[in-house]
Amino acid sequence: MISSNLPATSLTRFAWLSIVTALATMLLKGIAWKLTGSVGLLSDAIESLVNLAGALMALWMLTLAEQPADEAHAFGHGKAEYFSSAFEGLLILLAALSIAYAAIGRLVNPEPLEAVGIGLLVSVVASVLNAATATILLRVGKNRNSITLEADAHHLLTDVWTSVGVIGGVACVWLTGWLWLDPAVALVVAANIVWTGYRLLRRSASGLLDTSLPEETLIQLRELLSGYRKHHIEYHALQTREAGGRAFIKLHLLVPDKWTIVAGHEWAERVEADIRAIVPHAHVLTHLEPLSLADHDDGFVI
């Protein structure tokens, strides 16, 4: 038996929110860089450009992932989301290299900053926009199990903390006159961005390799299924995997030999409903077997 519970509303509107925010913050940070000449603020503006590219990719992949299953893609297009997060991870790494290049050049040839006050104010406004958007994307991404929205949210949050560091560094340069602080902060920003990009790439690779559900979820599933033993129902061959916003759960249910097909079907429906209560985005496949076959298996849980 097969059952699934798919998201009812589109996630692409949140990708559009990310695109609009990226455009606005890129403009604001570009203005801040032009006003001050700070390489730290330039690094912040470059990351906003990466945000825009990532948001456009997210929109494309979310649109593809939400397409229904067809003959060529019987299990849907959910894995498209992993391409988006991997692409964003690569963009982040490229941004880090660009920032590091600019920062090293400024360390070698320091330059004074200008119009720091207004430049910092503009950058603060951009950071507030990013923080608000990231909060929305992270909440929706977790609730809807969308790695694309979560990746975009984490990238924006990284951008927010990046901006905090850059703003602090530029303010210190303004107060102390230590010009080396500006490119030094930019290098720290680049290192932080590399770490974020690495984590996104690692998670994307795990998804493409059909990694199973988290251990805490598997423990919940095993506890649920073990509870059916009081109804003379055992299980084995439990297998799980994730693909974008969907989970796939497969198992064999062992029922009393004398049960009718109708009785077995009704209990299988109940088991599947209880599984989806734990994993709402799950596509569940159950296979009925007579309990007498249990002796031919190494164990009930695989």
On whether both 133 and 282 belong to a single domain, the answer is: no
- What is the count of structural domains for the chain? 2
**Same domain (yes/no): 106, 239:** no
Asked if the structure places residue 105 within a domain, the reply is: yes
Confirm whether 302 is domain-assigned. no
Q: Which residues form the domain of 172?
A: 2-208
The residue out of 208, 237, 257 marking a domain boundary is: 208
Supply the pTM of this predicted model: 0.52
At which of 182, 208, 234 does a domain end? 208
**pLDDT tens digits in sequence order for the chain, 302 residues long:** 544 444 445 777 888 888 888 888 888 888 887 777 776 677 667 767 777 777 777 777 777 766 766 666 655 556 666 666 677 677 777 777 777 776 677 677 766 666 566 777 777 888 888 889 888 988 888 777 676 777 778 777 777 777 777 777 777 777 777 777 767 777 777 777 777 777 767 766 666 666 778 888 899 999 999 999 999 999 988 988 876 567 889 999 999 999 999 999 999 999 999 998 998 878 898 999 998 876 544 444 44
Q: 5-13 — which CB contacts under 8 Å span 24+ positions?
A: 5/276, 5/280, 5/281, 5/282, 6/246, 6/281, 7/66, 7/144, 7/245, 7/281, 10/62, 10/66, 11/62, 11/66, 11/140, 11/144, 11/146, 11/148, 11/149, 11/245, 12/59, 12/62, 12/63, 12/66
Measured CA to CA in angstroms, residue 300 lies from 110, 236, 284, 295 at distances of 68, 4, 18, 10
Shared domain check, 222 and 165: no
